[in-house]
Structure 1
């Protein structure tokens, strides 16, 4: 099982403002946007770099402590997410259940010893098993 990419995901307080900043000031372009009627997630890129930006629900942001507002996810793209999940689960690593999301990813997550979220996902055409 090979890891093919790593894309950080940053929580932002205003997705439209963040997209405008990265696009207009830093030269990124929008690759993908998810969420209706108001998008709450996007992937942006420039050259060989990609970032995901996520805007949590406002009520969650208002009640979170500062460290949680700066939520970071490191999203890895393995070539076989199901095999990686099974291997780490067999090795008693504390991984979440494998799920298929409404945004078309088969994924799972775990935390490193310092509490950083590490997510592992692969594009999937299977029907969603969770609706977020």
Structure 2
């Protein structure tokens, strides 16, 4: 019985997940960046207009984003951004497992992604860089 549950709950190992970067909702991106810089992080990328920054400490990365809770009626506890090898294939598999997932969208920040909620209201953003236009 246990083996059957494990086999049914694990996707085939034909594709991988390349990284996971926590994305924390924050009230003030500049204040959060200053705090994490004091802890040894440096800014890898930052967009003050969006209220978003990607911080790095050696091989560890962390995103802070003040726009996640822009809609107070649906506050988020946390957001995880997953980077599969192939977002289209992963999207099909997630839907095939019965998870209600919206369609793939290309974002203004250059990712092809979809978003789903876990049972506790935390959000998973799942994507990969959009192909370069040429």
TM-score, scaled to structure 1:
0.78
Runs of 4 or more, structure 1, over 4 Å off, are none
Q: Could you tell me how far 1:116 is from its partner in structure 2?
A: 1.7
Bigger Rg over Cα = 2
CA distance in 1, matches of 2:68, 2:97: 35
Q: Mind listing any 5+ residue stretches in structure 2 that lack a counterpart?
A: 1-14
Give the deviation of 1:114 after TM superposition.
2.2
Per-residue deviation, residues 57-90 of structure 1 (Å, max 9, x unmatched): 89x47xx37x92x631011111101110012223
RMSD of aligned Cα (Å): 2.3
Q: How many residues align?
A: 119
1:97 Cα offset (Å): 1.5
- Pairwise CA distance, 1:119: 1.4
Q: How far apart, in 2, do the equivalents of 1:10 and 1:57 lie?
A: 8
Q: 1:124 to 1:34 in 2, by over 3 A?
A: farther
- Counterpart mapping for 1:49-128 below 5 A: 49-56=60-67, 60=70, 64=72, 68=75, 71-125=77-131
| Residue 16 (structure 1) aligned with residue 30 (structure 2) | yes
User: 1:5–1:92: structure 2 CA closer, same or farther, 3 Å change rule?
Assistant: same
